[in-house]
Amino acid sequence: SFQSSGTSDQPGDRLLGGLLSPGFDDGSCLSRYGSFSYRRPSPNNPSAYLISRLRNYESLHKRCGPNSKPYKEALEALRSGSAVGYGECKYVVWISFSGLGNRILTLTSSFLYALLTNRVLLIDQGKDMMDLFCEPFPDESWLLSKDFPVTDQFDSLGQSSPNCHGHLLKNNMINSTEKRMPSYLYLHLAHDYNDHDKMFFCDEDQKVMEKVPWLIIKSDNYFIPSLFLMPSFEQELFNLFPHKEAIFHHLGRYLFHPSNHVWGLITRYFDSYLARADERIGIQIRTLDGGDGPLSYVMDQIIACTQNEEILPKVDQHGTVSSSPSEDTRLKAVLVTSLNLGYSDNLKNLYWMYPTVTGEVVGVYQASHEGYQQTEKPLHNLKAWAEMYLLSLSDVLVTSSWSTFGYVAQGLGGLKPWILVKPENRTTPNPPCGRAMSMEPCFHAPPFYDCKAKRGIDTGVVVPHVRHCEDMSWGLKVV
């Protein structure tokens, strides 16, 4: 394969600075130890403490995984309905829910929560998780066993389910002095959650959950920023992530290794169209306004942003030939991702019709144009994952507001993107884009509650490292 321009060939890099365990066989998952030759060097290394906590987690996962005795014991407790005698291991179960970008972010949040609470993360296989990702932990699977007794209720679990934490709170059916704890709690952390569900983010409620062997999470949000506001987790998070803005960057590269099928899609595309470029630019276009694209005000926005910020060269509308065609003409490769083909078509045409004022040549590529979100179609999600990953291999990234698809790309790539401002009234915003403060994803539905004072507060101004997002004024992100 081609080496991308910025990589070094230190042998340590194949483990991403110690993030990955060396104990896997290569063939079952080519991306795991192969990704480093495609990636730019990381902006910062994982801390020694994070690395040691990950290795400890891996032994815990091995000891408690779905083939272990403690797992069988915990399943027995689950079947009996009581937390009594569940054995030595406790679990977080992640339910597959929402679009792929959302799923990657909630899985990361759930994993960090499991790490903080010494639990083992197991995942709902959903429809296609196995086709998309390799196993992240050595020796033991992260997939729930087929006989998990609650699986057939995953779809119907909601805020009024009998074991829903918020529901139990609302009806005063759970507290820290309770003797008989349920064997599982359902934690509803989706965007429509209510004030009771949000008590998940209070230390006192966490104390209650400690006694419950199974916590089952359904979420479509990156909820890590609010964990930083909890005194019980804050210090540990500082220790794990001295570079606070690299949480998803490290955990995402630790957890999400494209399956061999997806890795084939990624590497063939990269090697064919992007590898030889002097600079790679990713442009992620996600329009939420509806209507058949391409939308002219979004097209104008893309051109204005990339040219104002000197991401792409301007063209000479009166020119016919490039100024100094030579051996060392710089090649910029632009990867556009969008459900619609029109934006990249327009851009491609612009750089075909006119020479650039800088003399650079610009190639424009788009891997797929799926038309609309078709989560049920197997190849659709494989393409979405491949495209998020390809975007993450860019040198410069432009993303759309509000999109978790873009957050995944920026985080894996360690990139602070230029964010296209969300258009209002179907007009091109001015300025068209702004630089992100950090590469972290935005939590779109954070709680605004002070657990101690028991009143509402603005959680975006409590500490300097958790702020409101650039693209969503009520969202929270770590900076």
Shorter beta-carbon distance to ligand GDP: residue 355 or 417: 417
159/140 Cα distance (integer angstroms): 32
Half-sphere exposure of 60 (CA within 13 A, CB side): 19
118-126, 243-251, 376-384, 414-422 -> range binding ligand GDP (CB under 6 A): 376-384
- DSSP three-state, residue 153: helix
The CA-CA-CA angle for residues 249, 253, 258, to 5°, reads 140
366/339 Cα distance (integer angstroms): 10
Is 344 one of the binding residues for ligand GDP (CB under 6 A)?
no
Structure tokens given for 61: 């996962």
Is 384 one of the binding residues for ligand GDP (CB under 6 A)?
yes
Q: Which of 90, 218, 383, 477 binds ligand GDP (CB under 6 A)?
A: 383
Yes or no: say if 122 and 143 are a contact pair by the CB < 8 Å rule: yes
Residue 418 belongs to what H/E stretch? strand 418-420
Yes or no: say if 436 and 323 are a contact pair by the CB < 8 Å rule: no
Is 161 one of the binding residues for ligand GDP (CB under 6 A)?
no
Structure tokens given for 331: 């090649």
Is 286 one of the binding residues for ligand GDP (CB under 6 A)?
yes
Residue with tokens 């929560």: 113
Q: Which of 339, 357, 379, 437 binds ligand GDP (CB under 6 A)?
A: 339
CB of 258 to ligand GDP, least distance (A): 14
Backbone angles phi, psi at 77, to 5 degrees: -60, -40
Is 267 one of the binding residues for ligand GDP (CB under 6 A)?
no
1-9, 82-90, 341-349, 382-390 -> range binding ligand GDP (CB under 6 A): 382-390
Binding marks (x or -) toward ligand GDP, 100..139, rule CB under 6 A? Answer: xxx-------------------------------------
- DSSP three-state, residue 105: helix
Is 338 one of the binding residues for ligand GDP (CB under 6 A)?
yes
Is 56 one of the binding residues for ligand GDP (CB under 6 A)?
no
Q: Which of 259, 404, 428, 438 binds ligand GDP (CB under 6 A)?
A: 404
Is 373 one of the binding residues for ligand GDP (CB under 6 A)?
yes
37-45, 113-121, 333-341, 414-422 -> range binding ligand GDP (CB under 6 A): 333-341
Q: Of all residues in this chain, which one has the CB nearest to ligand GDP in the complex?
A: 99
Q: What are residue 217's DSSP bridge partners? A: 94, 187
Helix (H) and strand (E) counts for the chain? 15, 14
Contact set with ligand GDP (CB under 6 A) = 98-102, 286, 337-339, 368, 370, 373, 375, 380, 383-384, 387, 403-405
